[in-house]
Amino acid sequence: MSMGGAFRAVIVFLIFILLHYTLRPLLGWRAPMDFLLLGLLMAAVRVRPGNAALIGFALGLVSDSLAPEALGAGALAMTAVGFSASYLKAVFFADNIVLNAFFFFLGKWMFDVIYFLVAQSVHGAELVQQIFLWSPLSAAVTAAVGVLLLFIMRPLLEPSTA
C-alpha cells in the first residue's frame, strides 16, 4: 500500500471512529450499527493479520473503557474479528456488494457472540434473544451502513491509477 493509500485509509478509519461516537448515540437505535467494527474490518483487509489483531485489541480497549464492567471482552472479540477478517480476506473480500455486506454482517455477529459470551452481562433466554435476535439485526444494520459508506468513500478507498 502506498503512502497516499495508507493516509486515506487512516482518514477513513478516523471518520468511522468519529461516527461511532456521534451518529450512533444520536440515533439511539435498539439495534445499532457498529462503526468501530466497520473501521476494523476496513483496516483489517489492508494489513497483516497480526496488525489487524493489534488494531482490534486497541479498538476493543477503547470501547471497553466506556463499559468498565466488560473490560477486556470487547478487546478479545475485536482481536479475534480483526485477525479473522485479515486472514480470510482472500476468501471473502472482493468487489462484490453482496459479499462485502455478508462480510460486515458476519464480522459484527461474530463480535457480538464473542462479546456477550465473554462479558457475561446477560444470561439465559435474554442471552439467546440477544445473540439470535438483536445481534443479527444489529449486524444487518451495520452491513447496510457499511455498504453505503463503501459507496460514499470509494474515491478515498480506491488505489490511485496514476
Partner 1 sequence: MARAVRSNPRTDLIILVTCLVLALAARALPDAMRDPVSTTMRRTFLAPLVVLQERAELSRRAMLLVDEKTANTDTLTLKALRVTAVEAENDRLRQIMGLGARLRWGFIPAEALHGRGVRDETTVILSAGGRSGVNRLSPIIAPEGLVGVVDGVDPTMSHAMLWTHPDFRVSAMSIDGTAFGIAQSHLASATGGYLIELRGVPFRATLKPGALIVSSGWGGVWPRGIPVGTVMQEIKTAEAWARTYLLRPAVNPADVYSVMILRRERVSKGLDGVWASVAQADSAAQRIVVAGDSAAKASALAEAAARRAALAPLGPTGDSARAAASRVPRPAPRVLTDTGAPAPVPVTQPPVPEPEPRDTTVTRDSISVAPRRPR
Nearest to 71 by CA among 118, 131, 30, 123: 118
Nearest to partner 1 of 103, 109 (CB atom): 103
Nearest to 112 by CA among 87, 88, 86, 142: 142
10 in Cβ contact with 28 (< 8 Å)? no
C-alpha cell at 75: 478487546
Rounded-to-integer distance, Cα 113 and Cα 132, Å: 9
The site string for partner 1 over 98-127 (x = CB under 8 A, - otherwise) reads --------------------x---------
The count of residues in the chain is: 162
Least distance (Å) between residue 93 CB and partner 1? 6
Q: Report 10-29 residues binding partner 1 (CB under 8 A).
A: 17-18, 21-28
Q: Report 43-62 residues binding partner 1 (CB under 8 A).
A: 45-51, 53-54, 56-57, 60-62
Rounded-to-integer distance, Cα 87 and Cα 52, Å: 9
**DSSP per residue over 131-143, as a string?**
IIIIHHHHHHHHH
Report the residue from 16, 35, 83, 105 that binds partner 1 according to the rule CB under 8 A: 83
CB contact set of 108 (below 8 Å; sequence gap of 6+) = 34, 37, 135, 138, 139, 142, 143
Choose one: 70-78, 105-113, 125-133, 138-146; the region binding partner 1 (CB under 8 A): 70-78
Report the residue from 33, 37, 59, 75 that binds partner 1 according to the rule CB under 8 A: 75
| Site size for partner 1 (CB under 8 A) | 49
Which positions lie near partner 1, rule CB under 8 A? 1, 5, 17-18, 21-28, 45-51, 53-54, 56-57, 60-62, 64-66, 68, 70-73, 75-76, 79-80, 83, 86-87, 89-90, 93-95, 118, 157, 159
